[in-house]
Chain A
Amino acid sequence: MRPKVVITGMGVVSALGVGAEANVAALMNGISGIREARYLPTEHREFPVGEVPVSNEELLQTLRLPSGRLYSRTHLLGVAALRESLAQAKLLDYKGLALISGTTVGGMDVTEHLYPEPLPMGMPDVHDCGASTNDIADCCGDFDFTSTVSTACSSAMNALIMGKLLIESGERDVVVAGGSEALSLFHLNGFKSLMILDRERCRPFDQNRAGLNLGEGAAYLVLESEESALQRGVKILAVLSGVGNACDAHHQTASSEDGEGAYLAMTQAIADAGVSPSDIGYVNAHGTGTPNNDASESTALRRMFGEKLPPVSSTKSYTGHTTSASGSIEAVFCLLAMRNGFLPYQSEYQNLDEQCVVPVSGKECPRADLRHVMCNAFGFGGNDSSIILSRYE
């Protein structure tokens, strides 16, 4: 028997605010966090972003981190989310923790600011992905295992998938997994070069959708074997019941027309969870707002669920596309939807697109009793992943 992998803590930072309660309040009230950049020093004011509404200086202060060293924003956002998750799971003083974190940008905000000058002598490494993960871990607790997944926009979700494997194979009792990614000029101008940034708030699945808004944030989930959680006497929030990862193997940045990778990932996740498609009460779609992603994902969803499509929405209209962190940020949103009994809704959705699924919309937050929810995260290179979160009963 594989041990059941439960969730005992969560922490999240996004354009909706710092902490789970700020995020759930915005989601339930239909208030988007996408607006003009305040802290990212970009000239491209025409592209709104999903920026965390706190400066680096404020983060340093509230997190009580020592001054006199370089901090990347990915590091700071990560510490805020990781500490919240550890506190909820009562693990702040635990010895021998494991962290798997997803990121692509890592400390790029620091590098691009200094470039073309090298890092100042004697400063710790902050550029690479692994450095940001280790920095996040070492500011939060006693970790004897750290790892960084970098599969572009599915990084954090693939971190969750690896965390589940470490617990199921008996290697670990507790693994904290998720991701952190800050806005950077590198990323913004990269997406601008691909011509997939919307000048308005993104409109996932809408016929007039014109691209994504770049976002930032961090989120971590404490994964734990059921036995360990019961032994420690901590509250079990939900079960990470199913995971799936497949490669679209189609194109470096575009999704295939038939959504094969997404379809395979969702199929695996449902099989792994031991449920049937009709058990799924809500799908948090990848739904970036680009014409290509939303059409391809809609095709995959229709292949997966047939006529009985569960309620679907994309919360990227609230946070922007938080890229490497999106998988764990949106997993936390799913946990909050289950906890508070509601469906995240796209209050600004307007125009039906025959090619796309019709997302949950309207002006009122719909109530729902959710037992199983699906969360998708797809990345460049066709790195498609999907997970199922289930009520603990």
Chain B
Amino acid sequence: MNRVYVTAIVKDVPAEEYSRYIPPMKARRMGKLQKRALVTALKAMEVSGIGEPDAILNGTAMGCMENTVQMLNGLAAEGEAMNMPTCFMQSTHNTVASMIAIYTKNHGYNTTYSHRTVSFELALQDAFLRLRTGRLRTALVCANDELTELQLQYPTFFGQLEVRDRSEAWMLSVEPGEHPIYEIENVRVIHQKGMEDRAEIIKITL
């Protein structure tokens, strides 16, 4: 059994730093969440010194809401005459994890969890088990959600789920590296009928 370390945690890189990671020409074509997600992931690769992780995983409670809402608005306004290929293409929940892979040409294990408030922890559990059992040596695990105007205005529009507007990227490795943040002992996710799902990341402080 390998030990599993968190070697970098990067959260919500401010917009002023974006141009350090992606050329403005490319950034202009991306949505708000896509940009922030990609830059956060690239910075985690830089900080950890792991530019080619063996896997890219993402957790997202609601997926790419900006594009989803635009599609719904299109349907409401134009009915089935609507025609929004780009929006549709970028509305699927796996847009972010695959975009990071496409941008960094990473053919490794790639997956996305979309399970309410524990989406990130499920991605972390998947990566943790693969590292612990020797299937992978490094993994980038992200959390990405965006809040649209609509959700800010009507918080229960899509239900009662509380969504945090955030982009996080954690680098996991079986090697502690020079400055490990902590070691993961286990990740537990619990479902109980009638309650919100819960998760616990069991850490070993180094």
A residues lining the B interface (CB < 8 Å): 42-44, 104, 111-112, 115-116, 118-119, 124-131, 133-134, 137-138, 142-152, 158, 162, 165-166, 168-169, 171, 185-186, 189-195, 245-253, 260-261, 264, 379-383
Q: Is B111 an interface residue (CB 8 A)?
A: yes
Q: Which of A42, A129, A147, A381 lies in contact with B189, CB distance below 8 A? A: A147
- Which chain B residue lies CB-closest to A44? B80
When the two chains form their complex, are residues A137 and B191 in contact, meaning their CB atoms are under 8 A apart? yes
Q: Which of A43, A115, A142 lies in contact with B79, CB distance below 8 A? A: A43
Instruction: Count CB-based A-B contacts (< 8 Å).
Output: 205
- How distant is the Cα of A103 from the Cα of B130 in the complex, in angstroms? 23
Among the stretches B5-13, B35-43, B90-98, the one at the interface with A is B90-98
When the two chains form their complex, are residues A168 and B133 in contact, meaning their CB atoms are under 8 A apart? yes
Q: Is B84 an interface residue (CB 8 A)?
A: yes
When the two chains form their complex, are residues A146 and B102 in contact, meaning their CB atoms are under 8 A apart? no
- Which chain A residue lies CB-closest to B186? A171
List residues of chain A with CB within 8 A of the CB of B156: 118-119
When the two chains form their complex, are residues A189 and B75 in contact, meaning their CB atoms are under 8 A apart? yes
Q: A247-B106, A249-B101 are in contact. Are A42 and B80 (CB under 8 A)?
A: yes
Q: A143-B191, A247-B107, A252-B89 are in contact. Are A129 and B72 (CB under 8 A)?
A: no
List residues of chain B with CB within 8 A of the CB of A134: 116, 191, 197
List residues of chain A with CB within 8 A of the CB of B104: 249
19 sample A-B contacts, Cβ–Cβ < 8 Å, listed by A number:
A118-B154, A119-B156, A124-B159, A130-B61, A130-B114, A130-B197, A134-B116, A145-B191, A149-B113, A149-B114, A150-B94, A151-B97, A185-B80, A193-B88, A245-B109, A249-B106, A253-B89, A381-B99, A383-B111
A141 to B: closest C-beta gap in Å: 10
When the two chains form their complex, are residues B126 and A130 in contact, meaning their CB atoms are under 8 A apart? no
List residues of chain A with CB within 8 A of the CB of B161: 125, 128, 130-131
B142 to A: closest C-beta gap in Å: 14
When the two chains form their complex, are residues B115 and A151 in contact, meaning their CB atoms are under 8 A apart? no
Q: Mark B108-149, 1 if CB is under 8 A from A, else 0.
A: 111111111011001000100110110100000000000000
Q: How many residues of B contact A (CB 8 A)?
A: 65
- How distant is the Cα of A193 from the Cα of B101 in the complex, in angstroms? 25
A327 to B: closest C-beta gap in Å: 12
Q: A125-B159, A152-B94 are in contact. Are A382 and B101 (CB under 8 A)?
A: yes
List residues of chain A with CB within 8 A of the CB of B93: 104, 129, 150-152
Q: A147-B189, A150-B60, A171-B129 are in contact. List 7 more A-B contacts (CB 8 A).
A: A130-B119, A145-B189, A150-B114, A165-B129, A249-B98, A252-B102, A381-B95
When the two chains form their complex, are residues B98 and A380 in contact, meaning their CB atoms are under 8 A apart? yes
List residues of chain B with CB within 8 A of the CB of A192: 80, 83
When the two chains form their complex, are residues B80 and A165 in contact, meaning their CB atoms are under 8 A apart? no
- Which chain A residue lies CB-closest to B194? A138
- How distant is the Cα of A352 from the Cα of B155 in the complex, in angstroms? 54
Q: Mark B57-94, 1 if CB is under 8 A from A, else 0.
A: 00011110000000111011001101111011111111
When the two chains form their complex, are residues B122 and A147 in contact, meaning their CB atoms are under 8 A apart? yes
When the two chains form their complex, are residues B72 and A115 in contact, meaning their CB atoms are under 8 A apart? yes
Residue from the set B63, B73, B97, B122 with the largest chain A CB neighbour count within 10 Å: B122
When the two chains form their complex, are residues A127 and B76 in contact, meaning their CB atoms are under 8 A apart? no
Q: Which of A131, A158, A185, A249 lies in contact with B111, CB distance below 8 A? A: A158
When the two chains form their complex, are residues B158 and A128 in contact, meaning their CB atoms are under 8 A apart? yes
- How distant is the Cα of A104 from the Cα of B126 in the complex, in angstroms? 19
Q: Which of A104, A146, A169 lies in contact with B115, CB distance below 8 A? A: A146
- How distant is the Cα of A44 from the Cα of B81 in the complex, in angstroms? 9
Q: Which of B94, B105, B119 lies in contact with A249, CB distance below 8 A? A: B105
A359 to B: closest C-beta gap in Å: 27
- Which chain B residue lies CB-closest to A251? B102
List residues of chain B with CB within 8 A of the CB of A185: 75, 80
List residues of chain A with CB within 8 A of the CB of B132: 169
When the two chains form their complex, are residues B159 and A190 in contact, meaning their CB atoms are under 8 A apart? no
